[in-house]
Amino acid sequence: MRLTVWRLRLPLHTPYKLSFATLDGFDCLFVRVEGEERVGYGEITPLPGYSAETVDGALHEVERAGAALADGVAPERVIDAIESRAPMAASGLACAFETWHAGTQGLNAGAVDGAIPLAALCQGDSPEPAAEAARRLVADGYATLKLKVGAAPLAADLERIEAVAAAVRDNDLGVALRLDANQALDSPSGRALCRAVETLPVALLEQPFEPDAWTEFEALAQTTTLPLMLDESIWNEADVRRAAASGARLVKLKLCKHRGLAHTLDVAREALQNGLGVVLGNGVQSALGNHLEAGLYAELALSEAAEINGFLKLARPLPRHRMRVERGRLHDGGLPDIGADLGALKPHGDWVFKK
């Protein structure tokens, strides 16, 4: 058996603005497990604002994992040791072993059945550019648009939201808007924003406060009819149950936050059993992570528009893929060339171990 890791920086064609960072590229690790005529892959792309993980730290964890595997430690124990301090590194390693167990044609290279509705990021720092972006996206077939809020003053955010709402009002798609605060609001601004948009076609407000601000979140949920969704607060089943008890209507899941594919399925099913809507997908990763999320979306038979769209932000697709978006829907033909793509690059580390 062999574990291999590559480190890459993947430039974006347009800077991606969050409330706590502006990204011009993704710093990624790709990990591969191979042996017994099978191969599996996982992606580690630490997200700013979610935890203290960095790509340097994740690489260190993979190096420690490789050394432990070479010393005969079982993969499950290796991932156990990493998970509490570096959950995103643990997720990528878990995915590599899970897809190895499934075989190349199972999860990495194979196509995903069905067409997945996508939410589109509606960019623009002021009302007219944002409205024009919304008109283009609606013309492309998107029925769910996402706007980042919280980085600008509330009045400026409201002007932009109202301009987008007006731009999409007269269409046949019934366009809904998602507002993502990425933790940037406080209690007064959260209440004011909710009051101001309750009459607009806003489907939800995502993560208004910092991840541990459960008291503030519950108070906001009790004072607004606007559906609230939690993202950075949700890592495991206990967080899902707390979200439901605190008044959340939806949770946002990303494969990178959970211990691989099986755990993401468990967290999603816990949410559905608690009556919560599930939005799945990560806008900060490559086609590898997005492809695995598409498989989870299909297995769960979800209906909320997904945010499996990080691969669309890359200036150059790596790994190459057969994923395309038509009329606002993702069609995923798999990653048949991933082995050749990574095989052409120099790995950062390589370890041989016994199963």
In the predicted model, is pLDDT for residue 106 greater than 60? no
The per-residue pLDDT for 107 is: 59
Residues 130-159, mean pLDDT to the nearest whole number: 96
Provide the terminal-to-terminal Cα distance of the chain, rounded to the nearest Å.
Answer: 6
Of all residues in the chain, what percent carry a pLDDT higher than 90? 88
Note the pLDDT tens digit of each residue in 228-253.
999 999 999 999 999 999 999 999 99
pLDDT band (50, 70, 90) for residue 150: very high
**Res 57: pLDDT:** 96
CA dihedral 327, 113, 26, 315 (to 10 degrees): -50
Q: What pLDDT is attached to residue 182?
A: 92
pLDDT in tens, 38-55: 999 999 999 877 778 999
Find the mean pLDDT for residues 281-294: 96
105 has pLDDT over 80: no
Bridge-based pairing state of the strands 144-148 and 176-180:
parallel
What percentage of the chain's residues is helix, strand, coil (to nearest 5)? 40, 25, 35
Contact 95, 40 (CB under 8 A): yes
Q: Which of 104-108, 131-135, 141-145 has the lowest mean pLDDT?
A: 104-108
pLDDT at 104: 55
Instruction: Locate 274 and state its tokens.
Output: 């608690």
* pLDDT range class, residue 34, cuts 50, 70, 90: very high
What confidence score (pLDDT) does residue 50 get? Answer: 75
For the segment 291-322, what is each residue's pLDDT rounded down to a tens digit? Answer: 999 999 999 999 999 999 999 999 998 899 99
In this model, does residue 136 exceed pLDDT 60? yes
Give the pair of three-digit tokens for residue 330. Answer: 């993702």
Contact 107, 292 (CB under 8 A): yes
pLDDT tens string 192-225: 999 999 999 999 999 999 999 999 999 999 999 9
Strands (E), the chain: 2-17, 22-35, 38-44, 112-117, 119-121, 144-148, 176-180, 202-206, 228-230, 250-253, 277-280, 323-326, 329-332, 349-352
The packing angle between helices 214-223 and 187-197, to 10°, is 30
* pLDDT, averaged across the chain: 94
Virtual torsion, Cα 109, 115, 116, 120, nearest 10 deg: 100
Encode pLDDT of 11-32 as tens digits. 999 888 766 678 889 999 999 9
Q: Helix crossing, 55-70 with 87-102: angle to 10°?
A: 50
Q: Amino acid identity, residue 73? A: V
Rounded Cα distance between 141 and 120, Å, is 10
Hey, what domains does the chain have and what are their CATH numbers?
Answer: 2-110+339-352 (3.30.390.10), 112-335 (3.20.20.120)
324 has pLDDT over 70: yes
Check pLDDT > 80 for residue 287. yes
